[in-house]
Homo-oligomer: A and B are copies of this chain.
Amino acid sequence: MPPTPSKAQLMELLAHSVSTHYADFTTAAADTGLTSSQAKTLTVLRRAPASMRSLAHTLACDASNMTGIIDRLEKRDLVRREVSATDRRVKNVALTEAGQKLIDAIRERMEQTQTGLDQLSDEERAELFRLLTVVFPAQ
């Protein structure tokens, strides 16, 4: 049995892991001509369209910031704004087909780069999945 790492040691390793993964993501995004903020936005939209407000909340930034990011994505036809049918103040942002393709390409590239996961056995993958779910609970 390996010795128990301290919380500080584990956080240090966590920080390293996060930096590595984040850098990979940024690189994959840059290879397709996107900034990491733009790629993060497309990632959120991959699941479902969202209003400007909820995008800003999810990405933890100011609403006025989203305006600029969506402006630039829309100018490249990767997303489109649609006025909500139920509340005319709200604009729902959805991926275009080109946007969908682009974010898929980034995810594919990440899968190829992320070779570390291939080092794990099925049991280890399941255990890592479980542990991460505990440490970073959804929502």
Q: Which residues of A does B touch, CB under 8 Å?
A: 1-5, 7-11, 13-23, 25-27, 40, 43, 60, 107, 110-111, 114, 116-120, 122-138
Q: CB-nearest residue of chain B relative to A124?
A: B131
Partner of A128, one of B10, B26, B138: B10
Tallying the copies of this chain within the complex gives 2
13 residue pairs A–B, Cβ–Cβ below 8 Å: A4-B123, A5-B126, A10-B129, A11-B110, A11-B111, A11-B117, A13-B129, A13-B136, A17-B132, A18-B25, A23-B60, A116-B135, A124-B131
A132 in contact with B18 (CB, 8 Å)? no
* Residue numbers in B under 8 Å from A20 (CB-CB): 136
* CB of A53, distance to nearest CB on chain B (Å): 17
A125 in contact with B5 (CB, 8 Å)? yes
* CB of A123, distance to nearest CB on chain B (Å): 7
Partner of A18, one of B18, B124, B128, B130: B18
